[in-house]
Amino acid sequence: MSPREVELALKKQRLQFQSAALRARLGQQAHTLQAPFAAVDRVRAGYGWLRDRPYIWVGAAVALAVMRPRAAWRWLKRGFIWWQGAQRLRGWVERAAPLYLAAQQPSDDGRPAPISVQALIAQFTRL
Protein backbone atom coordinates (compact mmCIF):
# COMPACT_ATOMS: atom_id res chain seq x y z
CA MET A 1 0.00 0.00 0.00
CA SER A 2 1.14 3.48 -0.73
CA PRO A 3 1.54 6.01 2.10
CA ARG A 4 -1.53 7.88 0.78
CA GLU A 5 -3.67 4.73 0.98
CA VAL A 6 -2.43 3.99 4.50
CA GLU A 7 -3.23 7.56 5.53
CA LEU A 8 -6.74 7.30 4.07
CA ALA A 9 -7.34 3.93 5.73
CA LEU A 10 -6.27 5.34 9.11
CA LYS A 11 -8.50 8.39 8.62
CA LYS A 12 -11.43 6.14 7.73
CA GLN A 13 -10.83 4.06 10.85
CA ARG A 14 -10.64 7.17 13.07
CA LEU A 15 -13.89 8.45 11.59
CA GLN A 16 -15.56 5.10 12.20
CA PHE A 17 -14.45 5.12 15.84
CA GLN A 18 -15.64 8.70 16.23
CA SER A 19 -18.97 7.82 14.65
CA ALA A 20 -19.40 4.85 17.01
CA ALA A 21 -18.65 7.08 19.99
CA LEU A 22 -21.14 9.68 18.81
CA ARG A 23 -23.83 7.02 18.31
CA ALA A 24 -23.22 5.69 21.83
CA ARG A 25 -23.43 9.20 23.28
CA LEU A 26 -26.63 9.88 21.36
CA GLY A 27 -28.12 6.65 22.67
CA GLN A 28 -27.31 7.64 26.24
CA GLN A 29 -28.69 11.14 25.84
CA ALA A 30 -31.82 10.00 23.99
CA HIS A 31 -32.71 7.65 26.83
CA THR A 32 -33.78 10.63 28.95
CA LEU A 33 -36.26 11.66 26.25
CA GLN A 34 -38.02 8.31 26.14
CA ALA A 35 -40.74 9.21 28.67
CA PRO A 36 -41.69 12.57 27.09
CA PHE A 37 -41.78 11.02 23.62
CA ALA A 38 -43.96 8.19 24.90
CA ALA A 39 -46.41 10.76 26.34
CA VAL A 40 -46.49 12.64 23.03
CA ASP A 41 -47.12 9.37 21.20
CA ARG A 42 -50.07 8.60 23.49
CA VAL A 43 -51.55 12.06 22.91
CA ARG A 44 -51.14 11.71 19.14
CA ALA A 45 -52.73 8.26 19.23
CA GLY A 46 -55.67 9.66 21.20
CA TYR A 47 -56.06 12.51 18.74
CA GLY A 48 -55.93 10.06 15.83
CA TRP A 49 -58.57 7.92 17.50
CA LEU A 50 -60.86 10.93 17.93
CA ARG A 51 -60.14 12.17 14.40
CA ASP A 52 -61.20 8.80 12.98
CA ARG A 53 -64.50 8.98 14.89
CA PRO A 54 -66.17 12.28 13.96
CA TYR A 55 -69.49 11.10 15.36
CA ILE A 56 -68.05 11.57 18.87
CA TRP A 57 -67.37 15.26 18.13
CA VAL A 58 -70.82 15.71 16.60
CA GLY A 59 -72.48 13.95 19.52
CA ALA A 60 -70.64 16.09 22.05
CA ALA A 61 -71.54 19.28 20.15
CA VAL A 62 -75.22 18.30 19.92
CA ALA A 63 -75.32 17.38 23.61
CA LEU A 64 -73.81 20.73 24.57
CA ALA A 65 -76.13 22.64 22.28
CA VAL A 66 -79.23 20.85 23.59
CA MET A 67 -78.28 21.12 27.23
CA ARG A 68 -77.06 24.71 27.32
CA PRO A 69 -76.53 26.83 24.24
CA ARG A 70 -74.60 29.46 26.18
CA ALA A 71 -72.27 26.85 27.60
CA ALA A 72 -71.77 25.43 24.12
CA TRP A 73 -70.86 28.87 22.80
CA ARG A 74 -68.47 29.42 25.71
CA TRP A 75 -66.76 26.06 25.11
CA LEU A 76 -66.55 26.82 21.39
CA LYS A 77 -64.78 30.12 22.12
CA ARG A 78 -62.41 28.42 24.56
CA GLY A 79 -61.62 25.72 22.06
CA PHE A 80 -60.90 28.31 19.38
CA ILE A 81 -58.60 30.23 21.72
CA TRP A 82 -56.75 27.01 22.63
CA TRP A 83 -56.42 26.14 18.95
CA GLN A 84 -54.96 29.56 18.16
CA GLY A 85 -52.52 29.21 21.05
CA ALA A 86 -51.43 25.80 19.82
CA GLN A 87 -50.85 27.18 16.33
CA ARG A 88 -48.71 30.01 17.72
CA LEU A 89 -46.75 27.63 19.90
CA ARG A 90 -46.15 25.36 16.92
CA GLY A 91 -44.79 28.31 14.94
CA TRP A 92 -42.48 29.30 17.77
CA VAL A 93 -41.16 25.77 18.11
CA GLU A 94 -40.59 25.48 14.37
CA ARG A 95 -38.60 28.73 14.39
CA ALA A 96 -36.65 28.02 17.58
CA ALA A 97 -35.74 24.38 16.88
CA PRO A 98 -33.02 25.14 14.29
CA LEU A 99 -31.44 27.67 16.65
CA TYR A 100 -31.49 25.18 19.51
CA LEU A 101 -30.02 22.42 17.35
CA ALA A 102 -27.31 24.73 16.06
CA ALA A 103 -26.39 25.64 19.63
CA GLN A 104 -26.02 21.96 20.51
CA GLN A 105 -23.23 21.46 17.95
CA PRO A 106 -20.04 20.83 19.91
CA SER A 107 -17.32 23.44 19.84
CA ASP A 108 -13.66 22.63 19.22
CA ASP A 109 -13.14 21.43 22.80
CA GLY A 110 -16.12 19.03 22.65
CA ARG A 111 -18.50 21.03 24.82
CA PRO A 112 -21.79 22.38 23.44
CA ALA A 113 -21.40 25.84 21.98
CA PRO A 114 -22.96 28.62 24.06
CA ILE A 115 -26.18 30.10 22.76
CA SER A 116 -25.72 33.65 21.60
CA VAL A 117 -28.03 36.08 23.36
CA GLN A 118 -28.20 38.20 20.23
CA ALA A 119 -29.25 35.16 18.19
CA LEU A 120 -31.99 34.36 20.71
CA ILE A 121 -33.28 37.93 20.68
CA ALA A 122 -33.21 38.06 16.89
CA GLN A 123 -35.02 34.72 16.66
CA PHE A 124 -37.81 35.56 19.08
CA THR A 125 -38.40 39.14 17.95
CA ARG A 126 -39.51 37.69 14.62
CA LEU A 127 -42.24 35.70 16.38
Q: Do residues 30 and 37 touch, judged by C-beta distance below 8 A? A: no
Q: Sketch the domain layout of the chain as residue ranges.
A: 69-127
Q: How does DSSP assign 37-101, residue by residue?
A: HHHHHHHHHHHHHHHT-HHHHHHHHHHHHHH-HHHHHHHHHHHHHHHHHHHHHHHHHHHHHHHHH
As a whole number of angstroms, the distance between CA 21 and CA 23 comes to: 5
Given this model, what pLDDT does residue 63 score? 82
What tens digit of pLDDT does each residue of 85-117 get? 988 888 887 777 776 666 566 666 666 555 565
pLDDT band at 11, cuts 50/70/90? very high
